[in-house]
Structure 1
Amino acid sequence: MSEDLEVTVTSVDDVRVLRVCGEFDADEAETLAQPLAAPLDGTVLGVVVDLSRVTFADSSFLHTLIEAHRRHLAAGVPFVLAEPHFTVRRLLDLTDTARFFTVAPTTTAALEKVRGTCSDGHHVR
């Protein structure tokens, strides 16, 4: 769909950060699914997905995020969506799925949420 489609994976301390850019539909779902399927070994404290530059997302994109969230939850690894672009936020709201995710307003806030999460995936209050 978009030539600017990109998923960049970096690490901040022991937190894996995925920066997702572009337009995602069923044809591009694997571009996001592959890095989200990376091994969750003991060295990964959590995963943050920066969605601030996703300008289009459809149900396949949402399905990929839901499956990744389930996988991370089962492994006890925090999974936080950071700064979702308006289009992503709208998708989450229209499908009533935002409540299933931990969402942070910025990547920095998402990193803080990961660091404030217990090993069972629940937040420290």
Structure 2
Amino acid sequence: MASRRRQGGVEVLVLAGELDLDSVQEIAPALDDALAAQPGGLVVDLSQVAFADSSALNLLLRTHTRTSLHLGGPLSPFVERLFEVTGISGVLNLHPTVEDAVRAAGQRGG
């Protein structure tokens, strides 16, 4: 499930539930719409995501190459462990809260 909102002048895409191959295919158009609304940067709220697989990681990495991507938590233990094991936490802009992610994205001009 995906929804969008503006917070602090920044586009926020809120993801919830399980991010697997099927749901990622449904989320991709919402992500494209969010990028079109704010091409300079994007916050993805992962605080309601219980599970993520390699297709979700791939989507986040592809998005990271297209914009200044900031991910906000808190992350579920499963998602946090996945990010640690894969090393993605050293590549993406991870923030402990969505508010921190919004603040960081806003400071970079989008």
Task: Give me the TM-score of the superposition, normalised by structure 2.
Answer: 0.86
Structure 1 stretches of 4+ moved >3 Å: none
Matched, 1:81 2:71: yes
Matched, 1:36 2:31: yes
Q: Which has the greater radius of gyration?
A: 1
Contact 2:14/2:44 (<8 A) preserved: yes
CA change 1:40–1:61 in 2 (3 A) is closer
Deviation at 1:89, TM superposition (A): 1.3
**Match for residue 82 of structure 2?**
91
**Structure with higher RCO (Cα < 8 A, 6+ apart):** 2
Structure 2: which 5+ residue stretches go unaligned?
none
Deviations 1:24-83 (A, max 9, x none): 211111122212222645x625311110111111100110111111111xxxxx210001
Instruction: Report sequence identity in percent.
Output: 31
Larger helix fraction of residues:
2
Structure 1: which 5+ residue stretches go unaligned?
1-5, 73-77, 120-125
Provide the rounded CA distance (Å) in 1 between the counterparts of 2:109 and 2:25.
30
CA change 1:99–1:25 in 2 (3 A) is same
Q: How many residues align?
A: 108
Considering only aligned residues, what root-mean-square deviation do their CA atoms show, in Å? 1.8
Task: Give me the TM-score of the superposition, normalised by structure 1.
Answer: 0.77
Contact 2:8/2:106 (<8 A) preserved: no
Contact 1:32/1:64 (<8 A) preserved: no
Contact 2:3/2:15 (<8 A) preserved: yes
CA change 1:103–1:13 in 2 (3 A) is same
